[in-house]
Amino acid sequence: MQIKVLVEKIKENILRDYDKEVDKVTVQEMHNVVAKIAITEISKAWHESEIRFNENRHAYFLSAEFLMGRAVQNNLICMGIYDEVKEALDQLGFDINKFEEIEDMALGNGGLGRLAACFLDSAASINVPLKGYGIRYKYGLFKQTIEDGFQKEYADNWTSFGDEWSLRRFEDSVKIKFNDLEVLAVPYDMPIIGYENDNIGTLRLWQSEAIKDFDFELFNNCKYDEAIKDKTIAENISAGLYPNDNTYEGKVLRFRQQYFFTSASLQDLLRKYKELHGNDFSKLVSLNTIQLNDTHPVIAIPEFIRLMTLENNMKFDEAFNMSKEIFNYTNHTVMAEALEKWDISLIKSLVPEVYEVIEKINEKLIEELTELKVRKEDLDKYEVIKDNQVHMARLATYIGKSVNGVAEIHSEILKKDTLKEWYEIYPEKFQNKTNGITQRRWLASCNKELTELYTRLLGDNSFLKDLTKLKSLEKYQDDKEVIEEFIQIKKFKKRELIDYIYKHEGIKLEEHFIFDVQIKRLHEYKRQLMNALSILDIYFRLKDGELKDFTPTAFIFGAKAAPGYARAKAIIKFINEIADLINNDIDVKDKLKVVFVQNYNVSYAEKLIPGANVSEQISTAGTEASGTGNMKFMLNGAVTLGTYDGANIEIVREAGEENNYIFGATEEEILSIKDSYDPVEIYNNNKHIKRVVDTLIDGTFSDGYEEEVIETKEEVVEVAEENIEEKEAQVVEEKLVEGTFKELYYALLKGTHWHQADHYFILNDLDRYFEARIKLNNDFKDEFAFAKKCFINSVNAGFFSSDRTIKEYAEEIWKL
Ligand SMILES: *Cc1c(COP(=O)(O)O)cnc(C)c1O
């Protein structure tokens, strides 16, 4: 589009929609206008892409979460019109960077939801026919502030200024029937713009609405609240995203959400199929394949069979056999607390017909196991219905045509541990699909400067379509000019980050510090507590004069804790107490800074990652399924300081262990010491470790439990009582009364009702972590040598493009 034409269009739209002159327009209004023009621009290509999609074999991606982030920048880049729009806005006196004020679309918790978003982007960009199905939550992941060191949560009303990138498709609404309630699922479609290829994918998100949202009779009888009662109840279903990452809650509303969106998606799929093929279902499984993103959408399996048998007159056996061809399951975690199990009574009371199908599936399973000569006493380990609960991972593994993990080590753990008995009988189902990230968002969009350097060196930007092309840049690793330019880009991104952090947190960092960054959900297995203890250790040793040559380091954290996860919240407070101590100690002001940024989300990640020197990936070996944050850092030229876990293993395989800082216990070591592990012995014999652990109880810090925690305590106990046995709730309460830092101390040294002491082997790795940090700290002094490592990481990140991952799904699972 010509700039002149664009400028006119923008003016026209502003006048029509907002009745204003351009200079009076708000950022949100300008954003909406640009989005509207962009959507109009792609509407023909979108329509044509949809037709191609339906004509050929295609895949559906069912996910309870899509962590999309902000759309505008990425979409303009993918359309190839970013520079034109920027220029047009410039001419109108509007700085395109102001779009940074636009809300993120945060309909996901963390890695799992972000993966779903990267997959859609990749599929659109490499022409894989993939449609996303999910829930249009009214409120996304809560917004976080840090007040007096504590996390506070606020509602994320992300559509309050509109949702211009989506189209409401009321005509495609479907009804969802629960035993006690019937609601309308109304789809909103969001275009997923392929990178400069005219292919537009679709993310279809379902919103729950009342079938009859206003009872006129009740209204006339002055029963105003009752007149809109149905509306309120129906809209509750898609009202909010559950803020739990890697844990599961047996809540009725959560189950309703899962059934709601999977049933709507299947009805949509079947309706489209019937439009083209009538009631002849012979092509159904050859044209359609469905990927279940974790167990959240697994209720789709019995719902599919229910729809085929009860609403389409198919025989059970035929529908059952079809289900075994059409569904595939991705496991995302080995954490026991995340493996979903639903009470039979809950499922029965909400969707009795679906429950009957599950019973029949279970009968089929037992038949099959008997044929396979599985011993009677072993049936327990397989049964989908066991101890009055339905095991969703078992259901998915039994019916799934393929079952995959998300990094090599994770897929191996599934086979030898988590799903071991299933691997024994169905080895052919098991696959690995190492996760990936899209280079459009995580390089082109967030790091234009590095993108420009690579474009210049390669002669074109085709690496945005094939990231493995960066590998050929390895030849520049000793080129003084190239590495110098690479250094300058990192410094520039650090300065941008310094400004951003100053603006949002009021803390001024300095460019010559190492930027050491740990950003991810707050979880014990991710070991932010180990990082915190290690920082304290460094601080004390600096005070003792023990670390003479320490390169100044800024330790940056960003993390949200699930609101009911008391220990995670205690760790946030602990980190903020440490930050307070260190940032106010003039003895170390030239050496150390600690920042906990508020409201870590996709847009903050897009600032933090390009400015980082060090990527903290320190989960206990064998606990992080893959990680994708690690890949984003690698691509943007940070070294990994991490454990042998998840995709870290594959990252150092691609970029060289010598260019990263890998430390700590391997998964094998953890397995071998597990039963005899004694953290108290480490604590007693290591004065450095004892000193930092003791700060949890010796009055160095205040956890503020008297003022703050009492309130939190009630919330936690409430949550605990709903979810776990009364007895355990009491334990939670006792610990909280003593104070949250004390509780962390006990968790490390004494263990609790449900976990052994130091369940995540923090003390076991602390020494080796310190050594790796000191080595890194020392290596940083040689600017060129360190930058060379970063450069080698970046140009070897090709394997971690989600384009590669999607290609593997398309070829090896979806058979497209
Ligand atoms: C990539 C990403 C994650 C996942 O990070 P991990 O380090 O892999 O856990 C979580 N949240 C956001 C906002 C992300 O962009």
pLDDT in tens, 446-476: 999 999 999 999 999 999 999 999 999 999 9
pLDDT of residue 708: 47
At residue 105 the predicted structure's pLDDT band, cuts being 50, 70 and 90, is very high
Q: How far away, in angstroms, is 285 Cα from ligand 1 center?
A: 34
Closest-CA residue, ligand 1 atom 8, reads 627
CA-based nearest residue to 559, from 527, 520, 505, 594: 520
Q: How far away, in angstroms, is 107 Cα from ligand 1 center?
A: 13
At residue 719 the predicted structure's pLDDT band, cuts being 50, 70 and 90, is very low
Q: Which of 521, 598, 640 to mutate to test the pocket of ligand 1 (most atoms within 8 A of CB)?
A: 521
Domain extents in the chain: 1-242, 244-433, 448-664+761-799
Q: How far away, in angstroms, is 632 Cα from ligand 1 center?
A: 9
Say how far apart CA 731 and CA 734 lie, in whole Å: 5
Closest-CA residue, ligand 1 atom 1, reads 629
Closest-CA residue, ligand 1 atom 4, reads 111
**Does residue 341 have an active-site annotation?**
no
Task: Give 56's contacts (C-beta < 8 A, 6+ positions apart).
Answer: 129, 287, 816
* CATH 3.40.50.2000 fits domain 448-664+761-799: yes
Instruction: Decide if pLDDT at 325 tops 70.
Output: yes
Q: Which of 68, 439, 602 to mutate to test the pocket of ligand 1 (most atoms within 8 A of CB)?
A: 602
What is the number of the ligand 1 atom nearest to the C-alpha of 617? 7
Instruction: Decide if pLDDT at 709 tops 50.
Output: no
**Does residue 640 have an active-site annotation?**
no
Active-site residue (options: 272, 429, 440, 521): 521
Give the model confidence (pLDDT) of 135-175 as tens digits: 999 999 999 999 999 999 999 999 999 999 999 999 999 99
Instruction: Decide if pLDDT at 199 tops 90.
Output: yes
**Does residue 768 have an active-site annotation?**
no
Global pTM value = 0.95
Instruction: Decide if pLDDT at 123 tops 90.
Output: yes
Write the DSSP string, 561-592: --TT-HHHHHHHHHHHHHHHHHHT-GGGTTTE
Residues with CB under 6 Å of ligand 1 are 110-111, 114, 520, 601-602, 605, 627-629, 632
Instruction: Decide if pLDDT at 729 tops 90.
Output: no
Closest-CA residue, ligand 1 atom 15, reads 602
Burial 471-488 (b: 16+ CB within 10 A, else e): eebeebbeeeebbebbbe
Q: How far away, in angstroms, is 650 Cα from ligand 1 center?
A: 18
pLDDT of residue 738: 56
Q: How far away, in angstroms, is 232 Cα from ligand 1 center?
A: 33
What does the radius of gyration of the chain's CA atoms come to, in whole angstroms?
27
**Does residue 418 have an active-site annotation?**
no
Q: Are 610 and 447 in contact (CB under 8 A)?
A: yes
> In angstroms, what CA-CA distances link 150 with 362, 570, 607?
47, 8, 23
What is the average pLDDT value for the chain, to the nearest integer?
95
Active-site residue (options: 632, 688, 713, 735): 632
Instruction: Decide if pLDDT at 298 tops 60.
Output: yes
Say how far apart CA 105 and CA 101 lie, in whole Å: 12
Give the domain 244-433 fold.
Rossmann fold (3.40.50)
Closest-CA residue, ligand 1 atom 6, reads 629
pLDDT of residue 714: 54
At residue 706 the predicted structure's pLDDT band, cuts being 50, 70 and 90, is low
Report percent pLDDT > 90 for the chain: 92
Burial 732-753 (b: 16+ CB within 10 A, else e): beebbeebbbbbbbbbbbeebe
Strands, DSSP E only, in 406-537?
A: 430-432, 514-519
Q: Are 630 and 651 in contact (CB under 8 A)?
A: yes
**Does residue 520 have an active-site annotation?**
yes
Q: Pick the residue with more confidence: 738 or 295?
A: 295
Instruction: Give mean pLDDT, residues 610-617.
Output: 98
Phi then psi dihedrals of residue 163, to 5 deg: -145, 70
Active-site residue (options: 391, 520, 567, 569): 520
Q: How far away, in angstroms, is 178 Cα from ligand 1 center?
A: 35
**Does residue 24 have an active-site annotation?**
no
Active-site residue (options: 397, 418, 628, 740): 628
Q: Which of 528, 607, 628 to mutate to test the pocket of ligand 1 (most atoms within 8 A of CB)?
A: 628
Q: How far away, in angstroms, is 627 Cα from ligand 1 center?
A: 7
Instruction: Decide if pLDDT at 722 tops 60.
Output: no
Two structure tokens written together for 799: 């394997």
Q: Which of 519, 606, 618 to mutate to test the pocket of ligand 1 (most atoms within 8 A of CB)?
A: 519
Active-site residue (options: 58, 332, 415, 465): 332
Q: How far away, in angstroms, is 111 Cα from ligand 1 center?
A: 5
At residue 737 the predicted structure's pLDDT band, cuts being 50, 70 and 90, is very low
CB 690: neighbour CB atoms within 10 A? 13
Residues listed for the chain: 816
Q: CA 270, 275, 277: angle at the middle one, nearest 5? A: 85
- Give the strand pairing for 341-343 and 385-386: unpaired
pLDDT of residue 219: 81
Q: How far away, in angstroms, is 768 Cα from ligand 1 center?
A: 25
| CATH architecture for segment(s) 1-242 | 3-Layer(aba) Sandwich (3.40)
Q: Identify the DSSP state of 472.
A: G
Active-site residue (options: 394, 440, 526, 593): 526
What is the number of the ligand 1 atom nearest to the C-alpha of 631? 8
Span of 298-302, 491-495, 704-708 with lowest mean pLDDT: 704-708
pLDDT of residue 59: 98
Instruction: Decide if pLDDT at 265 tops 70.
Output: yes
Q: Pick the residue with more confidence: 150 or 753?
A: 150
At residue 735 the predicted structure's pLDDT band, cuts being 50, 70 and 90, is very low
**H helical segments located in 476-526:** 480-505
What is the number of the ligand 1 atom nearest to the C-alpha of 600? 13
